[in-house]
Structure 1
Amino acid sequence: MNILTMVTAEVDQDRAVDLIAAFEAMLAEGLPDGLLESRLLGDGEGHWAIHSLWRDRGALDAMRAAPEPPAAPTLFRRFGGDPSLVVLPVLAAGQQPQ
């Protein structure tokens, strides 16, 4: 079963360009094993979220057990945010054909 993590934080909107660039640089370094996709979301008013889809709970637990701290909360802290985490199992999903 896939797992979705949502890390949210308030980051001053004046830092948006730098936050987006740092997130893109983080992605360019490669995703950890079991991380299927990750997205940075922002509402233009300083409310930010990183949604990450994991293959399963084991992949998420393996990343969290690694010596490096998790990337999403670390990124938000770097920009003065106080991140919070929600972990949710994906119970149903759909996708529009491309």
Structure 2
Amino acid sequence: MDIPRDKPVVTSVDARGLPEREGDLLDGYRRMLAAGQPDGLVRSELLRGQDGSWRIQSTWWDMEALLALRKAGVPHAAQALLDGVGAEHTHSWFVVEDGFDTT
């Protein structure tokens, strides 16, 4: 697959089973945001699922911005946060092919 490098990219890090660490996750996410955002990050959201699942979803300007961050050796903050609260997690990324935004 040819990865378009000029379209927005959404990363998703998903976790389950954190009822006893929910406060730590919320506090950690707020600290992560307060620490500053890397170049190319457009938006980040901490989402709570109806079944006790959690997702940290981040939108990046493009794949180039995301790859530059990884090449610079910057650790993946969302994964590090979930590791820190002892959550098993999965991660994926998506190219935004089309969308709608009211802003």
Per-residue Cα deviation, 1:43-87 (whole angstroms, up to 9, x for no partner): 264311100000000101111223232101111011111221111
Q: CA deviation at 1:14?
A: 2.0
Distance 2:91 2:24 in 1: 22
Distance 1:96 1:7 in 2: 25
**TM score, norm. by length of structure 2:** 0.85
Aligned residues: 97
Q: Does structure 2 conserve the Cα–Cα contact (< 8 Å) formed by 1:8 and 1:48?
A: yes
Distance 1:45 1:15 in 2: 15
- Residue in 2 aligned with 1:23? 29
Q: CA deviation at 1:19?
A: 0.6
CA RMSD of aligned residues (A): 1.5
- Residue in 2 aligned with 1:33? 39
- Residue in 2 aligned with 1:70? 76
Runs of 4+ in 1 over 3 A off after TM superposition: none
Of all paired residues, the percent bearing the same amino acid is 35
Distance 1:81 1:65 in 2: 26
Equivalent positions of 1:50-69 (< 5 A) are 50-69=56-75
